[in-house]
Amino acid sequence: MRSKDLLSISDLESHEIRLLLADATALKAEPRQNTLAGKTLALVFEKPSLRTRVSFELAIKQLGGEAIYLSPAEVGLGKRESVADVARVLSRFVDALAVRTFSQGTLEELAQWARVPVINALSDTEHPCQALADLLTIFEHKGEFPGLKLAYVGDGNNVAVSLALAAASVGLNCTVATPKGYEMPAAAVRQARALAATNRCVFNAVNDPAEAVKGADAVYTDVWISMGQEAENEIRLKAFAGYQVDEALVSQAKPDALIMHPLPAHYGQEVAEGLLDRPQSVVFDQAENRLHVQKALLADMLGGLLMSWAA
């Protein structure tokens, strides 16, 4: 990796993403190894989680290490104690930090002061570990990325940004459809287009869900109202009317198109009731694959190298 940390999916080169996916595949086939015996991962969370906490705790434990969970009340980043001091103290105790935070700025400050790797387990701008799990899921079901089309419909949020950048990095065509006013940040759009041009694929940002989904090999959505946005509930529900992924919208994709969602899902909002129970749905594969890609990431960052990294 170009950095000791993973703060953005763009911290990974295209070939590094592919090697991580190869490692994740190997670890999925042979899950329990002892490559990180004696290593400790601190989970520093400012917001609650199901998949992120469980997958990271199991990832380090299945590789022979240990995890320590630190709740908001126990840490109080920037309130009870300065971010810099938390980073410096934890660096004396643990081998890596996985941080789930409201602000990318907090994550970057932790990385600035920490002497150990810092992993973005979710921030307001990106969710790189989710994007890696999404790529692994698509690869498992569809094979190589070039020639495929991924459609994302919904909010241009942290999940959309990491997904778009990850897709462009591996040559996967991607179209993101959002309501006006809820687009991906302009800088992220420019970056995705530049990566796509480099990797001989196409990235498009549009406002029409049907345009995005037409001929897609995978249709992806995420919540319209993220944690911390509850005050915008009524405004967002009105803005996203017409952006629900339902039978009618999915019918415009390829007949065997995957249906994807990072979970948790708000049924009846971004996704229709029952749609995630269809055979095409791979949402629980995505959830499981968080474990495998995070094991690969930890193995690389903490020295438990696999064959694909030694190649």
Decide if 242 contacts 178 (C-beta within 8 A). no
Query: Is 204 annotated as belonging to a binding site?
Result: no
Interatomic CA distance for residues 82 and 179, integer angstroms:
38
Query: Is 80 annotated as belonging to a binding site?
Result: no
Interatomic CA distance for residues 113 and 222, integer angstroms:
33
Contacts of 85 (CB under 8 A, 6+ apart): none
Query: Is 185 annotated as belonging to a binding site?
Result: no
Query: Is 1 annotated as belonging to a binding site?
Result: no
Interatomic CA distance for residues 7 and 148, integer angstroms:
27
Query: Is 127 annotated as belonging to a binding site?
Result: yes
Query: Is 128 annotated as belonging to a binding site?
Result: yes
Query: Is 260 annotated as belonging to a binding site?
Result: no
Query: Is 226 annotated as belonging to a binding site?
Result: yes
Other Cβ atoms closer than 10 A to 144: 11
Q: Which two tokens stand for residue 283?
A: 């949402």
Query: Is 174 annotated as belonging to a binding site?
Result: no
Query: Is 290 annotated as belonging to a binding site?
Result: yes
Q: Which residues are annotated as a binding site?
A: 100, 127-130, 158, 222, 226-227, 290
Q: Which residues are annotated as a binding site for L-ornithine?
A: 158, 222, 226-227
Q: Which residues are annotated as a binding site for carbamoyl phosphate?
A: 100, 127-130, 290
